[in-house]
Amino acid sequence: MSEISNNYINLVIKELDLVKIKIAESISVSSIFFGGGTPSLMEPSDIGRVIKKIGDNFDLTNKTEVTLEVNPDSVDKIKLQRFFDEGINRLSIGMQSAVPKVLQTLDRTHNPENVSKVVNWASEIGFKQISVDLIYGTPGESKEDWQTSIEAALALPISHISAYALIVEPGTKLAAQIKRGEVEQVDDDLMAEKYLMADQLFTKAGFNWYELSNWAKNESHSKHNLSYWLGENWWGIGPGAHSHLNGERFWNVKHPNSYKEKIELNQLPIADSEILNKNQIESERLMLSIRLTSGIETKSLNEKQLNNLAGYVDSGHLNHSDWQRGRATLTLDGRLIADRIVREILL
């Protein structure tokens, strides 16, 4: 594994040099995110090489957020300490559930007891920013199961929590099991109840929602995710990575061999790209902004959009006082029908 990690990182380092040539200007990097696959399987020293190269090519500060996604079965305390020493200052831990039968349905293999071990080790080492991800709505998951997962997460020394509704993707093992009747269908009403449960318990524990599926303690919002939701620039490194730069979206070749070939030819490994038109940029702004506590400035909406949204103010799905102050923001009830509200402003 060490040799594979080292060889892959050598290619990543070369890609970062090609990116530097392409950008050809000094930029300040607000966040670095090691995700996709299981980056915690990598050698900490190789992760450190990437952080150093980004620092050499661009500008890092002591406020730069450096996140590592962690599978709780893939690290021990010594390895976590090494990641910390290499410059990782935020962990995002894939918890999903604290209930073994739910993890089994999700086809997740980690031992739920390891989540507690890893988070407590991280806290002891000195990580101040620790996030866990939960998934709700798994077929067969009762409200009691979901409460067990919530309480297990909140018992940990964490600063951020994400709770995502299960989406059953076509072609997956779970989709096939549902189609064959081996597991029950996803219950939308139960999903809504679970979201309300989560919000109530997270808020009571001092976590405030700032995006539809994300809650954080003070000063613990994910800078990286906010950059996506606010339509800012980002550059993805590695096979299949996606990027966005000044209205252009592009993505790397997926196959590792193709990626290696292009890098060794001193070519950026870009597979394709698209220039977003004004309508696409505006649609994405509306879809993403409505998910945030800050919502949408009403002066940026046209008369038809304002008329379509007015009914949601009257029904209590949009905050009345914020509307009076010139912003369209979701109430708790509004968050449950966010997709429907978005459709009203994309017409």
The residue extents of the domains of the chain are 64-225, 279-346
pLDDT in tens, 4-28: 677 999 999 999 999 999 998 889 9
pLDDT in tens, 50-69: 999 999 999 999 999 999 99
- How many CA atoms are closer than 13 Å to the CA of 107, on its beta-carbon side? 9
**Six token digits for residue 183:** 């597991």
CA distance to 29, 72, 79, 234, 249, per residue, from 40 (Å): 22, 9, 9, 22, 27
pLDDT score at 174? 67
CB 245 within 8 A of CB 233: yes
Mean pLDDT of the chain: 93
pLDDT score at 3? 65
Mean pLDDT for 303-309 is 95
Measured distance CA(20)–CA(53) in Å, rounded: 10
50: number of Cβ within 10 Å: 22
Residue 346's contacts (CB-CB under 8 Å, 6 or more residues apart) are 283, 286, 287
Question: Does 1 have pLDDT greater than 60?
Answer: no
**Residue 112 pLDDT class (50, 70, 90 cuts):** confident
Q: What is the architecture of the domain spanning 64-225? A: 2-Layer Sandwich (3.30)
Q: Which residue has the higher pLDDT, 103 or 110?
A: 103
pLDDT score at 347? 63
pLDDT in tens, 161-214: 999 998 766 777 766 776 777 666 767 889 999 999 999 999 999 999 999 999
pLDDT score at 108? 80
pLDDT in tens, 22-37: 998 889 999 999 998 8
pLDDT in tens, 123-170: 999 999 999 999 999 988 999 999 999 999 999 999 999 999 987 667
Mean pLDDT for 335-339 is 96
pLDDT score at 235? 96
pLDDT score at 167? 77
Measured distance CA(5)–CA(48) in Å, rounded: 12
